[in-house]
Structure formats: structure tokens, C-alpha cells
């Protein structure tokens, strides 16, 4: 059997391998595009329904992403909203009943206060948003007051996420938990070493989802 004959025999199998590969990649790309369109353009208003619970909890809602979540993720009246941050928000701002617990997530003695504030609330949505980054990029060993810097960043970015699973009221067969991550947690980011290391809750989120799958509706990052 010469080379030309071998090539002719391989043409048909290689054609179908290529065709299936192209079809698979095309369908995968189409799926990703449609998923992005559904999430970022159409949204999913039905997800936040009164059936989830009367209260939503947003950590770090004073400003930035947390404040935007607090403004956008409101449950329909007369359902309520709950915020955790340093600055008080009022009923007049959001037209729903609002409860504020002002805490410093850099400390570890705040969670009994949070647990007491959550007791008795029917929580449907938890947004773990609170986080802190560098004031400016810096080499790891050149960070001022490095010991306290590390402790504070771990407490805010990691301990807060873990503690809220402990301090939530007893779980029900419904609810949504959103853990807000960062692109810096997806890849190593020099000069933001500690922040990059503490902003990847995807793996613990997946593991906790596996453990709590029987009574959590969604756990997303």
C-alpha cells in the first residue's frame, strides 16, 4: 500500500472528525453566546421571587458593587431587604423595610452580632460581596505593616464568606447565595499577591454547593 492510497483511505474518517469538531465548537460557542445574552441582556427576574424569602442580605453594600446589588436585587414589595455595611441606609432610599448592621469585617469578633441580627429572618438571597484590595500595587515584602495587612485582607475576603454559612438561619429548601469573586483570583497577579490569593471562592463555593445541594437552590460565583 503506497502513501497515496493510505491518504485516500484516511480522507473520509478525517473529514468526519473535522466536521464533528467544527460542529462541536460551533454549538459550544453558540451556547456560550446565548447564555451570556440571557444573563447579561435578558436577565432572570423570575429567580428573585417572593418564594425565596422575605429578606436579602448584602455584605459590603456601602458603595461600589455591593451598593449596586442592593439597588438592583430588591425583592418585590412588601418583601424586605437587609444590608450589612458601615453606613446606615434608610427605608426612604429603597422603599422597602431596611435593616443595617454596621460592622468591620477586618475583625473576627463581629459574627455574634451578625448572627443575632439574622435570627428570625426568612432570608432568600445572600450576596457575599464585601472585599478589600491594595491601596496601590506593591511588592509583597514592601507592603507597610505586612502582618496586619495580611490578617485584615484574609478576614475581609475569606473569613467573611466562610462565617456567613455558619451564621445564616437554618437552611430551607430554597435560596440563592452569590459569592462575588474577582478576575484577580483567576490568574496570578503580581503586586497584588495577597488580594489575588484571597479572591477565588470558586472552589470552596463548588464544594459547599455539593454539601448543601439538598437545600440550596443556587450557589454561584
- 31 is an active site residue: no
Q: Which of 111, 187, 195, 215 is catalytic?
A: 195
Of the chain, the end-to-end C-alpha distance in Å amounts to: 57
CA distance 43 to 221: 16
The stretches of 43-145 forming alpha helices (DSSP H) are: 64-72, 91-94, 111-118
The stretches of 73-201 forming alpha helices (DSSP H) are: 91-94, 111-118, 146-154, 160-167, 193-198
Task: Give the three cell numbers for residue 56.
Answer: 436579602
- Any idea which residues carry the catalytic annotation? 195
Amino acid at each position: 500500500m503506497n502513501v497515496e492510497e493510505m491518504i485516500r483511505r484516511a480522507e473520509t474518517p478525517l473529514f468526519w472528525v473535522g466536521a464533528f469538531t467544527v460542529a462541536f465548537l460551533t454549538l459550544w460557542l453558540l451556547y456560550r453566546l446565548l447564555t451570556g445574552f440571557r444573563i447579561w441582556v435578558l436577565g432572570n427576574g423570575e429567580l428573585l421571587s417572593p418564594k425565596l424569602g422575605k429578606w436579602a442580605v448584602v455584605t459590603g453594600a456601602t458603595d461600589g458593587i455591593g451598593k449596586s446589588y442592593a439597588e438592583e436585587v430588591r425583592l418585590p414589595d412588601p418583601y424586605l431587604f437587609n444590608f450589612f455595611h458601615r453606613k446606615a441606609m434608610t427605608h426612604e432610599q429603597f422603599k422597602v423595610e431596611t435593616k443595617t448592621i454596621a460592622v468591620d469585617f477586618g475583625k473576627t469578633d463581629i459574627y455574634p452580632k451578625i448572627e443575632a441580627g439574622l435570627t428570625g429572618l426568612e432570608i432568600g438571597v445572600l450576596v457575599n460581596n464585601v472585599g478589600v484590595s491594595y491601596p496601590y500595587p506593591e511588592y509583597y515584602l514592601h507592603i507597610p505593616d505586612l502582618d496586619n495587612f495580611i490578617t485584615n485582607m484574609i478576614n475581609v475576603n475569606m473569613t467573611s464568606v466562610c462565617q456567613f454559612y455558619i451564621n445564616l438561619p437554618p437552611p430551607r429548601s430554597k435560596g440563592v447565595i452569590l459569592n462575588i469573586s474577582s478576575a484577580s483570583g483567576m490568574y496570578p497577579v503580581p503586586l497584588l499577591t495577597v488580594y489575588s490569593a484571597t479572591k477565588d471562592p470558586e472552589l470552596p463555593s463548588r464544594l459547599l454547593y455539593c454539601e448543601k445541594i439538598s437545600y440550596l437552590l443556587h450557589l454561584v460565583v
